[in-house]
Amino acid sequence: MAMGGILGVMSLAFASVVLLATTMATDMSTVPCNGWPDYCSRKYSNISLIGTHDSAFLDAGIRFLQAQTHKNAAGTLSMCHTSCTELDAGSLARYLREVKTWLEINSNDVVTLLLVNGDNLDPSAFDAVFGRNRMRDYAFVPATSPKTLAISDWPTLRALIQSNKRLIVFVDSKADTTKVPYILPEFDYFFETPYDTTDPSFKQCTLDRPAGSSPEGKMYIVNHFLDKIPLWTSVLVPDNAADVKTNAATGKGSIGAQANLCEKVYGRRPNVVLVDMFDRGDVFTAQRTLNTYQVPGSSFGFLGLGRDTPVVEDMAIS
């Protein structure tokens, strides 16, 4: 083959490689993580999520699930609020199967599961259920295990997705990472604001749990669901009539208003906002607002970033 022909073939091959690399880079920048391309480069500890209280609504866009567990009368670990005699929503095994099926279908999403260990069971009880349902394969184990992973050392959503460790599991009590490394102790990683709130203006963002601890180095959960005390009882019940206002993105008593207050207190936005009845109000606008870069000193709100506009990592709220 003549020299010109060889050079032509080499040039064509080089151009093809460049085109392939460019295409792959372009594709990578447009593939969403948890629904948005600009979340991919954000660390897990630098994302704000709306969480549901005892409900699995992954298809609607929820990526943080919180649920209470107890053993029912048959000894089965189940999804029960307060006790299984009041409400038994089915076994933890069935719940995990539903989450696993969803993860298999949605390969570009990271899901967090926070379990309330209502009976203070040993983590091996949860591990047995996770194991039978092959959920361990998806569960993230910190590189520092059994030591706590620093808030600045969490992987990005893209890294979690590429490694297929797309399930982050926390339990509120009795976690022991020397026994079960993927079931993480909630209060080593998070603090929470008060729950059982009856003030519709949500004018506080105090550290409630773990009592007496420091917020430094921890992510945090804002409990943004409203309760009331009916005239006929002293027992708190959800104030669902106020859900549209409580779950609004902006306005007095809204998700945005309380998140803004919390940011002033702690210098960073909430990692999780737990709500009741997420389908009432505008929780996903609130979530997108929380994940949008804000110029220091500006009012709480969007900066006009479009769906495909990347957020620069070092500009994000950390």
By annotation, the residues acting in catalysis are 53, 81
Beta bridge partners of 43: 156
Beta bridge partners of 57: none
Residue 285 and residue 61: Cα distance in Å, rounded? 11
Helix (H, G, I), strand (E, B) or coil at 23: helix
3-state secondary structure of 274: strand
Q: What is the number of H-type helices and E-type strands within the chain?
A: 8, 12
73-81: long-range contacts (C-beta < 8 A, 24 or more apart)? Answer: 77/121, 77/125, 77/126, 77/129, 79/54, 80/118, 81/54
Q: Which residue has the tokens 């669901």?
A: 225
**Burial (0-12, 13-18, 19+ Cβ within 10 Å), 3:** exposed
First to last CA, the chain: 59
Cα angle: 94, vertex 72, 92; to 5 degrees: 20
Q: How far apart are CA 275 and CA 46, in angstroms?
A: 20
* C-alpha span between 41 and 57 (Å, rounded): 25
Q: Which residue has the tokens 């702690």?
A: 266
Closest CA to 88 of 99, 75, 79: 79
